[in-house]
Structure 1
Amino acid sequence: MKIIFNTDQTFLHGGIEKTMATKANYFVNIPNVHVYIVTTEQNGKLPCYFLDARVTLIDLGINYDRRLSYLSKRNLKKTFQHFRRQYELYKILQPDVVISANFNFDHYWLPFLLSKVKVIKERHGSRFFEDKLRKNTSFLNRLKFAFNNWLDSKYSHIVVLNEDEKKYVKSNNAVVIPNSVCVPEYKAELKNKTVIAAGRISPVKAFDELIQAWKVVYDNFPDWQLHIYGDDYLDTGEKLSELIGQLELQDVISFKESVKDLPYVMQHYSIYAMSSITECFPMVLLEALSVGLPIVSYDCPNGPRNIIRDKEDGLLAEYRNKRSLAEKLLELINDENKRLEMGNSAKINVQRFNNDRVMELWCNLLNLQHV
């Protein structure tokens, strides 16, 4: 069997890239399975996450300009080259399965590119806000949504990450397969007076709300610190630094660069904090649980509530309520025994997302032998 993972790049830190590497490394160890990762804009860079040497990497060299809109003239011109190169390559490789995890122009032609190929679309983003828009929108938008529903139906499967997201797929081909995590043997001691947050430094992560919540934490526990790991996006970091200065929190909040092995870093913290506006199934929460790190998160649509067991291995704060977020953080900061109990539960509860269990679901979907 030949499996192609279809994506834009593999060199950036991210949940899509990490989970794709996990699946590719697993599949390539199954007898008579060949795995390819086909990118559109790798630009000669090395993959961020480890890939087995038997995984074949191919870059189409389309190089869309991500600074511009997808619909810009410059990017639209590249779609013809994209289609031609992709079609020619797939015709040579003759894959049995194509798995596409990123949204790209080829989303619109992949189901029709080759016959008798199982084409799977993975959805890593929540459709919560889109579903609300569908209920009150213009006639033209309703036509667009109807077209998207029809296009979804042409894929062999739409893989979503949790049950909440399944209801947004209007065709009858949705399958729920969550992200997975490798559970390490080590465990966080939860003794250090530090809290960790991580993710792309962008508006959707709402780190500004976490920073404002931390002002309340600081007023009660000035000896605790918050460290935020991630790469800057659209100069969001500069705006957040200004906010930190305005709140006079520069001595207790600091930014750190992205790291390849985040769980190893997480074990030196005592709480994981998340303030995102939307999350589908964030890998960082799985990684936090995997090292026994209790979590405080907004109950944002729709990921955290499908990972965290509230009051057992973490605390869900009221959505976009900074006071609630601060109070949940204070609750764990103030009670070491509760942190330790939740940390123990986290290490146990995360087993339902371990690699073996999740990859068995993928093998069943592809009719592969589970190793």
Structure 2
Amino acid sequence: MNIIYYTDQVYLHGGLERVLANKLNYFSKNTNFKLHVITFQQLNKAPCYKINDKVTFHDLGIHYNRDISFLHPSNIKLAPKHYSRLKAKINEIKPDVIVVCNYEFGFYFIPLIAKKSINIKEYHSSGHFNYKARLENKNVVKKYIYKISDYFETKYDYLVLLTSDEQKYYKSNNTVIIPNAIQETTLKTAKLTNKKVISAGRIAPVKGFEYLIFAWEIVVKDCPEWTLNIFGDGDPKYVAQLKKQIKTLNLENNIFLKGATKTLESEMLDSSIYVMSSLTECFPMVLLEAMGCGLPILSFDCPNGPRHIIKHNEDGILVEYLNIKQLAKNLIELMKDPTKLKSLGYHAKNNMGRLTEEKIMPQWLKLFKKETLN
């Protein structure tokens, strides 16, 4: 079976890239699939996560300006070249299945190009804010664009969503729920004795790190010996904003922006709490990885993902959405209660068994064969 995964790039650290690498490595090890990754803007860079050598990579070399909308005229003029190169590559590979990982011109091109393959669109983020924008939208042009997107969604064999909460955002009846899977959890477990809290992810406003920094201003008054390490890279303007906020609040000795790391598991094992302050998430891999290391989780109860992973007061704590004072209070309580800290961490690691690749990946195999999921 010939399988294509289509995305923009695989050189940046992120949840989508991590999930894709895990899937490719699983299929490389457990099937005889011929696996291909088509990117359009890889920029001659190596994948950020290790991917099995059996996977063949193809880059279309389309250099969009990612600082502006894909619908900006300077980007739209590149679309015909994108279409022709993508069509030629698909015709060359002759795939049985195409999985579209992101959302740009290729989302519209592939149902037009690949009519003989099983076409699957997988969503890695929540449709919450897009749904709200649709409800509030009064722009005629945007309404037309929404209708076009809805139409093309019906042209896919399956839309794969991460949680059941997401189904209400889609009008077509081809949705399937498959959560992200975690590879076998590390045999190591965090000792939970270091006074370190960790957070990680793409440094972008949707991750809500400014809320976490404001909460930490409260935390240090009660627990000044604890530090917060934030790992990841991203929007330079947002990074500068966070650095300025940390300096203004005199937290330079308490909060550290560490940048991206290839040793995130080691950093987690060296920490005692994982905290997430995102405005929205769907099924964040970083939570699964942190729980796999035996870290208790504190997360805003944001739409729509953490509540599908965290069992409140069993393996983590769901904090009222965007409530900074409550986030700080829960952090302080956990820092001062080592018994609860260790109990949450124990259950966090134990509960990840329900989301292993052995449990989740067979669902993908059924889709590739067009079998009905139970």
**Is TM-score (shorter-chain normalized) higher than 0.5?**
yes
Alpha-carbon contact 1:197-1:229 (below 8 Å) kept: yes
1:220 and 2:234 correspond:
no
Instruction: Name the CA shift for 1:312/1:204 in 2 (closer, same or farther; >3 Å).
Output: same
Match of 2:156 in 1: 155
Task: Name 1:355's counterpart in structure 2.
Answer: 357
- 1:322 corresponds to: 324
The answer to which of 231-240 and 5-14 deviates more is 231-240
Equivalent residue for 1:230?
232
SS of 2:57's equivalent in the other structure is: strand
CA distance, structure 2, for counterparts of residue 112 and residue 88 of structure 1: 13
Could you tell me how far 1:144 is from its partner in structure 2?
3.4
Number of the residue aligned with 1:171: 172
CA shift for structure 1 position 139 = 6.8
Letter of the 2:176 partner, please give it: V
The corresponding residue for 2:41 is 41
1:1-371 pair list within 5 angstroms:
1-138=1-138, 140=140, 141-182=142-183, 183-367=185-369
For 2:54 and 2:211, locate their aligned partners in 1 and report how far apart those are by CA, in whole Å.
44
Deviation at 1:112, TM superposition (A): 1.8
1:148 shift after superposition: 2.1
Query: Is the alpha carbon distance of 1:73 and 1:343 closer, same or farther for their aligned partners in structure 2, counting shifts above 3 Å?
Result: same
How big is the shift at 1:138?
Answer: 2.5
Q: What are the superposed Cα offsets for residues 19-38 of structure 1, whole Å, 9 maximum, x if unpaired?
A: 11111122223444100001
Q: CA deviation at 1:2?
A: 0.3
Deviations 1:270-295 (A, max 9, x none): 00011111111111111111011001
Q: Does 153-162 or 18-27 show the bigger shift?
A: 18-27
After TM superposition, the structure 1 stretch with the greater mean CA deviation from structure 2, 209-218 or 130-139, is 130-139
Q: Alpha-carbon deviation of 1:199?
A: 1.0
The one-letter amino acid paired with 2:75 is N
Structure 2 letter corresponding to 1:248? N
Give the structure-1-normalised TM-score: 0.96
Give the superposition deviation at 1:260.
2.2
How far, CA to CA, are the matches of 2:30 and 2:195 in structure 1? Answer: 44
Instruction: Report the CA distance shift for 1:238/1:136 in structure 2 as closer, same or farther (over 3 A).
Output: closer
Distance between the aligned counterparts of 1:30 and 1:349, measured in 2?
24
Q: CA deviation at 1:195?
A: 0.3
Coordinate RMSD, CA, aligned: 1.5
Deviation at 1:227, TM superposition (A): 0.6
The residue identity in structure 2 corresponding to 1:113 is I
Length, aligned pairs only: 369
Q: Which runs of 5+ in 1 are unaligned?
A: none
* Distance in 1 (alpha carbons) for counterparts of 2:145 and 2:42: 31
Q: Structure 2 length as normaliser, TM-score?
A: 0.95
SS in 1 for 2:236: coil
1:70 Cα deviation from its structure 2 partner: 1.1
C-alpha distance after superposition, 1:281-312 (max 9, x if no partner): 11111111101100111011111111111111
**Distance in 2 of aligned mates of 1:331 and 1:355:** 34
How far apart, in 2, do the equivalents of 1:78 and 1:145 lie? Answer: 22
Secondary structure of the 2:294 match is coil
Q: Please tell me whether the aligned partners of residues 201 and 237 of structure 1 are also in contact (alpha carbons under 8 angstroms).
A: yes
Residues 236-285 of structure 1 deviation map (CA, whole Å, 9 limit, x = unaligned): 12211111111111111111121224222201100001111111111111
Quick one: distance in 1 between partners of 2:72 and 2:131? 26
Q: What is the distance in 1 between the residues matched to 2:135 and 2:204?
A: 28
Q: Secondary structure at 2:5's aligned position in 1?
A: strand
Q: Distance in 1 between matches of 2:257 and 2:22?
A: 28
Q: Which residue identity does 1:333 align to in structure 2? A: M
Structure 2, unmatched stretches of 5+, are none
**1:292-342 CA distance string (max 9 Å, x none):** 100111011111111111111111111011001111111211100001000
Which runs of 4 or more aligned residues in structure 1 lie more than 6 Å from their structure 2 counterparts after TM superposition? none
* Residues in 2 aligned to 1:63 and 1:137: alpha-carbon distance in whole angstroms: 30
Quick one: distance in 2 between partners of 1:351 and 1:262?
21
Deviation of residue 368 (structure 1)?
9.2
Counterpart residue identity of residue 70, structure 1? F
Q: Offset at 1:135?
A: 3.2
Contact 1:263 1:290 in 2 (8 A): no
